[in-house]
Amino acid sequence: MVNTERLADTFSSLVRIDSVSREEHEVSIVLQKILTDLGAEIFIDNAGEKVNGNTGNLVAKFKGTVDAESMMLCGHMDTVEPGKGIEPVLENGVFRSKGDTILGSDDKSALAVIIEVMRVLKEKSLPHGPIEVVFTVCEEAGLLGAKHIDLSLIDSKMGYILDATDTGGIFTRAPFASRFKITFNGKAAHSGASPEKGVSAVVLASKMITALPWGRIDHETTCNVGKIEGGVATNIIPDTAVLLGEVRSHSKAKMEDIIRDIRTASNRVVAEARPSSPDLTLPTVAIHVEEDFPGTNIPDSHPVVVLARAAAKRLNMPMECKTTGGGADANIFFGKGIACGVLGTGMTDVHTVNEHIALSDMVASAQLLLEIIALHTQGNKA
């Protein structure tokens, strides 16, 4: 039922529209026209204002033809850089970009697949329950669109997000994540004439870092310092050092334990430095921690998983429950009470100029969604 040529044309046209994070307005306008023509009621929320972007999340509501629970289908409209002036090339069934840009299959492939699914449902008059198509902004900038979405527009409590590579898997488990900012304050002094009058904030930061394990902590926990800033010149003892980092774990308790250890180590190196400091009020440390996204843990018995597996079985496709160390809009929606499995479209080498995607994988993704919708409509969960 999937129109392969039409799907390819839709994908090609969408990736040609520039839509790096916070600049999704142009592609949103095109999507609104397509979805309106398919019979959707369109809403744009105010997330754009909250993330300093030029448009908000797009919510397209399709009325059901049968009595069934509402289902959400989701992808994100933004891309990463270099994502302007994309020219897609289709050779031997595989899309690549022409030039020094990404392709944009992350996540334009999702938009194209979902549009094709809705077109097939309409032209074949296939029965379906209410469907809410949600295209978010600023996913690549920190899941910001999903974080600021107007939940009053969404009735669904379950759905599927297309934002992965493997078409034979469903991601149902993802970690909790918190970000931290640690600011060490020391005392400036001339490093050649009077270094003893200074307190190096950079040295303090270094001592804290070397006191703790980083990287892969265990099979479900990671910790990273991603950015360090401090000092103004080589002949000045640096009075400030700022560390930015994150902790992720599939166990919230483990994540909180790591954060506690970071706090303890930071306070300890400051306390140990004060007795020899030329100013006994220094050094100091300020620690700020905030949640980046909640974890996702959808049981294998949940309808989201059961439907995907049953649909894949009918199509003679594999379908394995998978765990990821990354975050996606699914994490945010799960925290808001909407269980979303993350499905693949075949996107490969994303965020690089080598990005590519096979048209056959997008077709398979669309077929899977159509089968999921059919089973959901029939109330068949086996």
Question: Which residues carry out catalysis?
Answer: 78, 139
Please state, as a whole number, how many other Cβ atoms lie within 10 Å of the Cβ of residue 216. Answer: 12
The structure tokens listed for 225 are 């310092």
Tokens 């600011």: give the residue. Answer: 183
Contact 118, 130 (CB under 8 A): no
